[in-house]
A and B are shown apart, each in its own frame.
Chain A
Amino acid sequence: MDATTHDTRIRITAAAAEAVRQSIQDEKMAPDTYLRVGVKGGGCSGLSYVLSFEPERQEGDVVIEQNGVRLLLDAKSEGVLRGTELDYTSGLNGKGFVFNNPNASGTCGCGQSFSV
């Protein structure tokens, strides 16, 4: 497999990266823990986002490093997430990670799923 690469296929904002690093620290995980960013089938509009921490990469994963965070993408998710910005918002309406995906042609009312 290729070594870690720097890539713009998915972008993680500084705010999101800080939230990821903070979570890794709070949960006492290894500093080099990966953040898996992916897609799974399901949800009102057919596709849902996946975020999870993983200690190691899997066969076929793409590794993208930005703002001090190492992201993992499986090959199929990478195609759906191409150009996506992963942001983190904190405001009166709540806080959490937000996917700004230019490929999403529609989302469900609750925002938890999307279609391409």
Chain B
Amino acid sequence: MTPLPPWCRLGDRSTPRALPAFGDCVAPADFGQPELEYERLVSAAALVPAPWEALLRFEGRDWRSFLHSLLTQDVNGLPRGASAPAALADRKGHLLADLWLAAEADADAGWMRLRRDRLGPVLDVLERHRFSEQVRWSVDETRVCLLLLGPRARDLRAELISGPHDLELDPDRGSLSMAIRETTGGEAALFLPPPAAAELLRAQPSAGFLALERRHLESGVAWYGVEADSARLVPEAGLTDRISYRKGCYLGQETLARLHYLGQLNWALSRFRISVPEGAGLSGKPDLSRPDGERIGWLEAWAPGSGEVAALGYLHRRFREAPGQILAIGAAEVRWLGEAVPPSQE
């Protein structure tokens, strides 16, 4: 089972509609109908409370060039009103934070969405690299996040949010909507004052963390702190759409460009279906092995329960040539579905 961030806990099912204040991180497990909530994410659309999400606002003459010189994405080329995924890497290309960026349509300012437990490392890097650049940033502590997910998320977003841009701000409601296009193309992260978020949850289809976790494992987009961390190169975690290979220098670019043009990944995040026998509990990061016993990777996360469930793990490149092959993990059987690399923007 995918763990929540250690500083975040699963909410009490008896009070699932309570939304936490900023500073608390309580994710409702479900809203009483976990299967229905999962189906909403698979075939329709739903709002999922995501109290682990944080927002940073950037302004000042140099905000774009400053972030452009540090992040993997082309920030200078980000159109007004648009959003894009990005990453902060260390100088060896290891993932420090997975982000979404957006530029305001009507003002020269930008927003960054990231996990709250990455705020500290990101702010530390920003502060250490700011010299004479005119850039300021502030952490938004007034809003909580609802993720709008599912194949019909685009339609629901059109009902809830007025305006054509990826980033829409509504000063009257105090809300911010950022398109995130993670898997189905229509998703968004909505940041609202807690009362407005609770009201929206009551009025619209919702889903809890358990449904989100299941969809996450099936979609194969890595979560920082779960399937990806600072030990992984950004492309190893399948986050290739975070990287622009056309922009100039940024932190970690030398390694990532060399890897893209000249090298190959040893390990890559991959999607699996694992067949878990009744009573065969999995724990830790179990090794994946071939029938002859050779270790060829490991699992990072898997859906709870027995039978055939979705999982994510890393597979060595020597064994990434035959999707569908059967691997072994203790008593369980594993079928490899293929790499979890989202479509590149290149």
Interface residues of B in 248-281 (CB under 8 A from A): 249-255
Q: In the assembly, what is the distance between CA of A84 and CA of B148, in Å?
A: 52
Shortest beta-carbon distance from B207 to chain A in Å: 39
CA distance A48 to B131 in the complex (A): 11
Neighbouring B residues of A109 by C-beta, 8 Å = 254
Binary per-residue interface labels of chain A (17-47) against chain B in the complex, 1 for a CB within 8 Å, 0 otherwise = 0000000000000000000001111111111
Whether B129 lies near A41 (C-beta < 8 A) is: yes
Q: With a CB–CB cut-off of 8 A, which chain A residues contact B132?
A: 38, 40, 50, 74, 76-77
Report Cα–Cα, A46/B249, bound state, in Å: 9
B70 contacts A by Cβ under 8 Å: yes
> In the complex, what residues of B have CB within 8 A of residue A50's CB?
131-132
Which B residues, 119 to 144, have Cβ-Cβ distances below 8 Å to chain A? 126, 128-133
Question: CB-CB < 8 A to B130: which residues of A?
Answer: 41, 76
Report whether A39 and B131 are in contact in the complex, using a CB–CB cutoff of 8 Å.
yes
B336 interfacial by beta-carbon distance below 8 Å: no
B249→A41 contact, CB < 8 A:
no
CB distance from A90 to the nearest CB of B (A): 25
The interface residues of chain B lying within 8 Å CB-to-CB of A39 are 131
CB-based contact B91/A42 at 8 Å: no
Chain B residue, CB-CB nearest to A77: B131
- Verify B254–A42 contact, CB threshold 8 A: no
Q: How far, in angstroms, from A40 to B126 measured CA to CA in the complex? A: 11
User: Of residues A40, A50, A108, which shows the largest number of chain B Cβ atoms within 10 Å of its Cβ?
Assistant: A40
Closest to B126 in A: A41
Report how far A39 CA is from B130 CA in the complex, Å: 9
Chain A residues 96 to 116 lying within 8 A of chain B, measured CB to CB, are 106, 108-109, 112-113, 115
Interface centre among A43, A76, A112 (most CB of B within 10 A): A43
For A47, list chain B residues within 8 Å (CB).
Answer: 129
Number of interface residues, chain B, beta carbon within 8 A:
19
Q: Chain B residues with Cβ under 8 A from A42's Cβ?
A: 66, 68-70, 129, 249-251
**Interface residue SS majority, chain B:** loop
Complex CA–CA separation, A39 to B133 (angstroms): 10
Scan residues 43-59 of chain A and give those whose CB is less than 8 A from a CB of chain B.
43-48, 50
Kindly state the separation between the CA atoms of A113 and B69 in the bound complex, as whole angstroms. Answer: 11
Report the Cα distance A30→B128, complex, angstroms.
Answer: 34
Q: How large is the interface on A (under 10, 10 to 19, 20 to 34, 35 or more residues)?
A: 20 to 34
Q: Interface digits, B3-41 against A, CB 8 Å rule (1 contact, 0 not)?
A: 000000000000000000000000000000000000000
> What's the least CB distance linking A44 to chain B, in Å?
4
User: Across the two chains, which residue of chain A brings its CB closest to B253?
Assistant: A44
A62-85 contact mask (Cβ, 8 Å, vs B): 1 or 0: 000000000000101100000000
When chains A and B are docked, how far (Å) is the Cα of A43 from the Cα of B91? 9
The distance from the CB of A46 to the nearest CB of chain B, in whole angstroms, is 5
- The closest CB in chain A to the CB of B66 belongs to A41
Residue of B nearest to A42 (CB): B69
Contact with A along B98-132 (1 / 0, CB 8 A): 00000000000000000000000000001011111
How far is A45 from B91 in the complex, measured between Cα atoms in Å?
Answer: 5
Q: Bound state CA distance, A7 and B129, in angstroms?
A: 25
Q: What residues of chain A lie closer than 8 Å to B69, measured between beta carbons? A: 40-43, 48
- Count chain A CB atoms within 10 A of each CB in B66, B69, B133 and give the residue with the most: B69
Which residues of chain B have C-beta atoms less than 8 A from A115's C-beta? 91
Smallest Cβ-Cβ distance to A106: which chain B residue: B91
| Per-residue interface assignment for chain B, residues 134 to 164, with 1 indicating a CB less than 8 Å from any chain A CB and 0 otherwise | 0000000000000000000000000000000
Chain A residues near B128 (CB-CB < 8 A): 41
In the complex, chain A residues whose CB is within 8 Å of the CB of B70? 41-42, 46
- Give the Cβ gap from B284 to chain A, nearest Cβ, in Å: 34
What CA separation (Å) do A109 and B126 show in the bound complex? Answer: 23
A43 lies within 8 A of B133 (CB):
no
How many Å lie between the Cα of A113 and that of B255 in the bound state? Answer: 14
Question: Shortest beta-carbon distance, A72 to chain B, in Å?
Answer: 10
- Residue of A44, A74, A77 near B91 (CB, 8 A) is A44
Closest CB pairs A-B (n = 4): A42-B69, A41-B129, A44-B254, A43-B249
Chain A residues packing against B (C-beta within 8 Å): 38-48, 50, 74, 76-77, 106, 108-109, 112-113, 115
